[in-house]
Structure 1
């Protein structure tokens, strides 16, 4: 009987349906021995298109809110800027699970393409905003109608063979990290072009009336080109036939003494998968810290020195973030896998989080520097901090995807995206309000000015580090098999 099962197993593994896109992908994975860099490029384009708008507004949202004339005092600007920054994540938190369910039923490709087209439309309209409420509405729709970042992580595991899935996820995180840094760099360089490039953009022109449209337009143009490429060439990974497309997986379950009913029970009890849920909770805590840091960094750098800031221009912020983006790309695609292999994802997050705390608490002291020294110190600190952020995110992604079977990854990634978006909704608003409060207490006796802001960021970081230890965090290979 055992010999008969071993003989039939290979035949079932090679059963493909002619008109099924998922079967075509599986067949291509079986026939090809190398990693498809074309698939990597599609993942890169899709993730960049969805991520560039997330933080691109941070270098200029301070000036945008100021132009709206809604803030009563200069110190209140950061509060309103936080609301604009939070609206996108609020929309995403409401719809991420829905988009994950749609991708499980109708395919990854439609959800990815709809998400990119959403960027084209609503990011462009955000650049044309003439009021505070229009800006918030466009950012909300941009978040709620763009559900690609959850399914793209499942897609990255499905498009590659099992031994190459780590590279697929690393590509997602690398593109994500670059988008969160290059986006603000574009916003810093291209916002208010009439003031920065008067020889190219004349006064009283369209660009003078809509001073924040140019960076949004560039990002939307990139997203438009990515949408066309994905429509034509992006392969679908979802199976469209009624028969089980995972015959090998079913056989593997049977060989372990399990039956199909138990596999279905696993699908129903994903919220009882503590290795998954604990890693998602930790990821949400670090996400709260990360988005709050991104909001605070730009607003703090742009703030005048009398309020504890660096008095940077949006160009200065753009340069710092662009340099960090290059460093993230190099690190993520070359060094991360070596470091992760040496330490393991859990230990790597713990070490990185601990090292991040003293680095971040040094930020307020940088306001006492000037000239080349300030530029050098802030660039080194920004590179280190952003590399640490991406190291933690990638390691937690690996833990999440290892905690579930392949047939559960779409749902798992959607749950993680929903939780992350909910926490990132809180981040910009609370960070902006806290920064605004701190700037009103620059002469306080205890932790004056921005010292209290960076201390609050470190408290969140410290909580995330504590949750990375037992008994809270559980890793799948450390638990008994179900």
Structure 2
């Protein structure tokens, strides 16, 4: 009888221990499930992330349109409002701009980002981009050394401003999500940017071709309408960097 009671007691103890282990396992499982990365659906509901991606796409349209138009405008003959540059001269301008951009990114941008923050840099870059884009048709009226100097300076400034805006928006996107979500967030941003950059060259080329046929128009003749359109896109992007549209992530 004593042995039977001892066996029964041991069985009860084992049952309680098993139940306790099971509850701990279930708790651990629920904790693991709670730590799983958030799905893409929740990323799409993350407005600080999505608003920065939308602004990024708007500036991508303007940036790609400028890249498409600049070379076409530079090699176009003077009678069509271009610069009559050769492809070699256009390549020199782009090479100088690229080298200056590399120096800026490695030296000045980190300091500016610490001082002003990414949002202020985007706004400043957008405003100066509007002014700079509006000046290109008037730069085209020059010739000789003055044209070469001003065109190189304008190209450098335009590329520096463009990359400052894009880098600032990338920083905002990465701050809007946790570490394990950044890959998916960047994938969404790249998808949107690719779609916009696919549409921008076709639209910009069509507008440029149309603009060359209206050189005698009373309102924004020739290529002025093209650069005015790009300035308008930049203005929309700047307005979108303000509240309530652009929601900044909480620190």
Decide which structure has the larger Cα Rg and report it. 2
Distance across 2 between alignment mates of 1:314 and 1:321: 11
Q: Per-residue deviation at 1:444?
A: 0.8
- The aligned residue for residue 126 of structure 2 is 353
Residue pair 2:53, 2:189 contacting (<8 A) in 1 also: yes
Q: Deviations over 1:41-65 (max 9, x none)?
A: xxxxxxxxxxxxxxxxxxxxxxxxx
Does 2:163 correspond to 1:385? no
Relative distance call for 1:265 and 1:323 in structure 2 (3 A) is closer
2:73 to 275, 294, 300: 300
Tell me by how many angstroms 1:266 deviates.
Answer: 2.7
Deviation at residue 259 of structure 1 after TM alignment: 4.7
Is 1:407 aligned to residue 180 of structure 2? Answer: yes
Distance in 1, matches of 2:189 and 2:31, equals 28
Q: Distance in 2 between matches of 1:312 and 1:260?
A: 63
Q: How many residue pairs were aligned?
A: 222
Query: 1:341-366 CA deviation, whole Å, 9 max, x = no partner?
Result: 00000011011111111111010112
Select which of 253, 266, 279 maps to 2:38.
266
2:52 is the alignment partner of 1:279: yes
| Alpha-carbon distance in structure 1 between the residues aligned to 2:170 and 2:188 | 12
The alignment status of 1:335 with 2:105, answered yes or no, reads no
In structure 2, the partner of 1:436 is 209
**Correspondence for 1:397:** 170
Secondary structure of residue in 2 paired with 1:440: coil
State how far apart, in whole Å, the 1-side matches of 2:35 and 2:51 are: 22
Distance 2:82 2:158 in 1: 18
In structure 2, the residue corresponding to 1:368 is in which secondary structure? coil
Instruction: Tell me the residue number matched to 1:368.
Output: 141
Matches within 5 A, 1:190-229: none
- Higher RCO, 1 or 2 (CA under 8 Å, sep at least 6)? 2
How far apart in 1 are the matches of 2:199 and 2:105?
28
The correspondence for 1:314, drawn from 79, 87, 111, is 87
1:461 equivalent in structure 2: 234
Q: Tell me the SS of whatever aligns to 1:385.
A: helix
Query: What's the TM-score, normalizing by structure 2?
Result: 0.85
* Distance in 1 of aligned mates of 2:195 and 2:50: 15
Deviations 1:87-113 (A, max 9, x none): xxxxxxxxxxxxxxxxxxxxxxxxxxx
Gap change, CA 1:462 and 1:393, over 3 Å in 2: same
CA separation of 1:272/1:298 partners in 2, compared to 1, >3 Å: closer, same or farther? same
CA RMSD across the alignment: 1.5
- Rate the CA distance shift 1:259–1:474 in 2: closer, same or farther, 3 A: farther
